Structure 1
Amino acid sequence: MPLDPKRLRVIGQKNISHLFRIIGGSGRDSITVNGCAGADRRMLPPYVVYSAKNLRDAWTIGRPQGCRYNCSDKGWMDSTVFVGWFEELFLKSIPSERPVILFFDGHKSHTSVRLIQSAMKNRVILLKLPPNSTHTLQPLDVGVYGPLKTQ
């Protein structure tokens, strides 16, 4: 999600002239929000990645229940952050009945030896979707995020 005010989309009540306030900044920072849902329609809490060296307490005020946070240089997922999501949020949020399948996009930043080892240990089958196909294959991209991006 870019933080450039010219590229932001806001959802709100009609006929309200000021839904948000523009604040200073370079407009080049990004925040990644990793969402995950099960076939049983259960949503996992969001996992938010800020562009920073250290997480600020102010960024977590009023957070949704169970939400987790992390940081990376550009605010994007990298292999360390993705493993953090997998081990800190995903594994703790899914049912104990295993095996389970995790569908995820094929970006190289999401795959690492540590992820594979952790998945094998916890009886999680990793199903990596082909690169550049999530806009048509990944259920959350098709049914949730895609429609939001086109508004």
Structure 2
Amino acid sequence: METTGLETTPGTGKIQIPVYIVDIFSNDQKEALAKKIGNGRYLGKVFPLSSWLSRFLMRHSTLLLRRPQATSLSRATAFNQHNVSMFFTKLKDEIERFAIESANIWNMDESDLTTVRKPVAVLAQRGIRNLGSATSAERGVLVTLALAVSAGGVCLPPFYVFPRKKFRGDVLAAAGFGADGATNPSGLMQGEQFLKFLNHFKKYARTAPDSKTLLILDNRESHMTIAALDFCKDNEIIVLSLPPYTSHELQPIDRGVFGRIKTFYNAALEHSNDGAEKENNDEENNDPEVSAKAALEHVRPFPKAPPREPTNRGRKRRKSALLMDEDEMEALRAE
């Protein structure tokens, strides 16, 4: 007997149409399809057979089964024509007003790097559900990397924020020429660390004392402290903030720089971990204590760190703004 990829409900003879049709057809189309197949009705309780789905996709070449990416409502609604037009209008006005050249237009962004590598894709046998890859830990130490890139294609030396209380110069021993850093117990950039970044930015970005420099960044609270804005005002740095929740589309560093950096960084961690594992394999295999711990972990996993608790600080909703304007600075002082 030939199979069609559709099943019937036991005892009723009703045809069960695959649940994927929920995302493809409207209710009227589903009812029409059910009647056309065999006077059945939609139940939506079973999944389609691979043969039915493959034939269906062959008939509809414009369709593709994909898993949607989770996107917050704020991010989905913030990137609209009004917000984007407002940002580029202010950008154009400031460039024409002060005759700012491309070499003096800078984008600044920051991203986190962890000491634990992200496992890369590997070839595995079909049917294996749990595929593990050994790492140094499950949650690594967070280090923030801040970069500034000009419209002329020049990149400033990197600026790091290390998870320490006191800064030591030896942490930058292999960071490259001109690299600088600061410390924060959480490893995140706060107002104090951002002020140090501005000093680092002034050291390398300023081309002439009488020229204006435009710095474009997101509107995080650490970027809008009064001390940072006063420093920018005293050093002829114009600060333009991006509209909220739009850096994934409007920030070129976020889209074109950090992705490549993390790819090469993860590859370097992969190479270093492979070398360390190769050196320690013989010792671990011959150590009975290590073998006993591995067996115990397999039978009853050790307790792991709890998930991070979400925080809600009641942050005020903002928009793209020139943070050097008197009205904007007064509003920030009032907060």
TM-score for the superposition, normalised by structure 2: 0.38
AA partner of residue 229 (structure 2): I
Q: Letter of the 1:5 partner, please give it.
A: V
Deviation for aligned residue 1:56: 3.5
CA shift in 2, pair 1:65/1:133, >3 Å: same
Structure 1 outlier segments of 4+, above 3 Å? 6-9, 146-151
* TM-aligned CA deviation for residue 101 of structure 1: 0.4
User: Which residue of the other structure, out of 204, 208, 228, is the alignment partner of 1:93?
Assistant: 204
User: What residue is the counterpart of 1:103 in the other structure?
Assistant: 216
Deviation at 1:57? Answer: 4.0
Could you say which residue in structure 1 is the equivalent of 2:252? 139
Distance 1:57 1:47 in 2: 13
Preserved CA contact (<8 Å) 1:77 1:110: no
- Structure-2 residue corresponding to 1:74: 186
CA distance, structure 1, for counterparts of residue 203 and residue 239 of structure 2 = 16
* 1:29 aligned onto 2:103: no
Matched to 1:36, the amino acid is A
Higher mean displacement: 99-108 or 130-139: 130-139
SS at match of 2:160: strand
1:22 CA displacement: 5.4
In 2: Cα distance, 1:146 partner to 1:132 partner: 18
User: Of 211, 227, 238, which residue of structure 2 is paired with 1:125?
Assistant: 238
2: CA distance between counterparts of 1:8 and 1:90?
A: 34
Q: Which amino acid aligns with 1:112?
A: T
Aligned twin of 2:174: 62
Letter in 2 for 1:120: K
Asked if the contact 2:163/2:185 (under 8 Å) is kept, the reply is yes
CA RMSD of aligned residues (A): 2.5
CA contact (8 A) 2:189 2:222 kept: yes
Unaligned runs of 5+ in 2: 1-111, 121-133, 267-335
C-alpha deviations, 1:21-51, integer Å up to 9, x for none?
955x673521000011111111100001011
Distance 1:100 1:32, change over 3 A: same
Q: Residue in 2 aligned with 1:114?
A: 227
- Is 1:3 matched up with 2:75? no
- For 1:137 and 1:26, the matched residues in 2 are separated by 32
Residue 109 of structure 1, CA deviation: 1.5
1:105–1:128 Cα contact (<8 Å) kept: yes
Change in Cα spacing, 1:58 to 1:92, as seen in structure 2 (3 Å) is: closer
Call closer, same or farther: CA 1:145–1:3 in 2, change over 3 Å: closer
Question: Per-residue deviation at 1:148?
Answer: 5.3
- What is the rounded CA distance, in whole Å, between the counterparts of 1:149 and 1:61 in structure 2? 20
1:48 and 2:157 correspond: no
C-alpha deviation, 1:3, in angstroms: 2.5
Query: Greater helix share, 1 or 2?
Result: 2
Count of paired positions: 138
Q: Percent identity?
A: 25
| Residue type of the alignment partner of 1:80 | E
Q: Distance in 2 between matches of 1:3 and 1:58?
A: 19
Please tell me the residue identity of whatever aligns with 1:104.
L
By how many angstroms is 1:136 displaced? 0.9
